[in-house]
Amino acid sequence: MSARRLAAPPLRCPTCGGSWPAGERFCARCGVPLTLERGARSEAADSERHARARKIKPQLGEGRLVRVAGARNQPEAELIASLLLEAGVPSLVRRSAGFDVPDFLAAGPRDVLVAESGLERAREVLLEAELLRAADQRGGGRPAPLALALGILAALAAGVLLIWVFTMLA
């Protein structure tokens, strides 16, 4: 271990009050993110982090991250993330693909990601807030692969039929 890590103050679980070494990130007993012990930070910052950590339901933070919603800009994405946090669902906001350049800063579309275990609860919250349409429930508004393949096949068949009709008329 480095000298810096040894000198770091121990971390405390805001839920159960357990003390953990500086290398840990989550409480081994209850799964809540750890915070610095009192005295290592200001009381105001500690109480705000404590309140946020208490809202998170650890069972909704397991699994790989999946996209649950999209936002047009950073403030809208933060609003969605705050709604999810109030429901106990931890989330992550990131710039959408293709818009991840420094020129956009707070502008440009954002993706809101949640863990797989919290996906259903997140969708329920967003439906209640009317931020997600019922059609978006299954795939983020994208057509299902089978429907897309059938659509392409139908368009191809229509094209072949038109070519055949024009050759018969000529």
The answer to whether residue 50 scores a pLDDT higher than 50 is yes
H or E segment to which residue 48 belongs: helix 43-55
pLDDT band at 139; cut points 50, 70, 90: very low
* pTM score: 0.51
Domain segments of the chain: what residues?
3-55, 59-137
Q: Could you give the percent of the chain with pLDDT greater than 90?
A: 22
59-137 under CATH 3.30.70.790, yes or no:
yes
Contact predicate 68/112, CB 8 Å: yes
84 or 1, greater pLDDT? 84
> Given pLDDT bands bounded at 50, 70 and 90, which one contains residue 26?
confident
**pLDDT, position 5:** 47
- 76 conformational bin, left if phi > 0, alpha if psi -120 to 50, beta if neither: alpha
Phi and psi torsions of 8, nearest 5°: -65, 140
